[in-house]
Chains A and B, each alone.
Chain A
Amino acid sequence: AQKVTQAQTEISVVEKEDVTLDCVYETRDTTYYLFWYKQPPSGELVFLIRRNSFDEQNEISGRYSWNFQKSTSSFNFTITASQVVDSAVYFCALRGGRGSTLGRLYFGRGTQLTVWP
């Protein structure tokens, strides 16, 4: 079974604070793929990152960074020096590697991030 848990339903921070969004996943697949998407109020899901199960390197892209730890089945997302434009719902998602689940993204329930000026 594939499952993604985002325990934080809502987070509020003040601009320039750092914030970490948690993502814990469950899968029996040895090969799998993890994703983060951002959904601003306009509705479109914006792809942020993909991480393959065989690549545990952390990644930094500007103010965004991701910490992938297979030992704890976590793929956390940190925004440094948050800005008002970061306000959105953030979804973590899992895609299995087996053919029967190919094409199916399993989403967490999302974390609503609000950044106050």
Chain B
Amino acid sequence: KAGVTQTPRYLIKTRGQQVTLSCSPISGHRSVSWYQQTPGQGLQFLFEYFSETQRNKGNFPGRFSGRQFSNSRSEMNVSTLELGDSALYLCASSLGQGFSVTQYFGPGTRLLVL
């Protein structure tokens, strides 16, 4: 079974631009979560989507948004980029219901904002 894939793997943007990151979950998984990882703050939860609906949300500004498509693929968008948005963005997928809640992570997208 293929794992979680994320594209692109690396991105360089400048302040004020916007960026879209993509995540394809493991086949059959309906939940996709996004996390931001920085050296200072560690891993922080952004949001979780299940069956095309945002089910959980973290404490990030509205510049961070996401969506999920009918095939469970998810995208995350960051508008008006700031230097502090430089981070490793990780997505994770899981079945999304029942007791099987293990989350499987992708390799991440490393975003550098200049």
Please say whether chains A and B are actual partners in one complex.
no
Interface residues of A (CB under 8 A from B): none
Interface residues of B (CB under 8 A from A): none
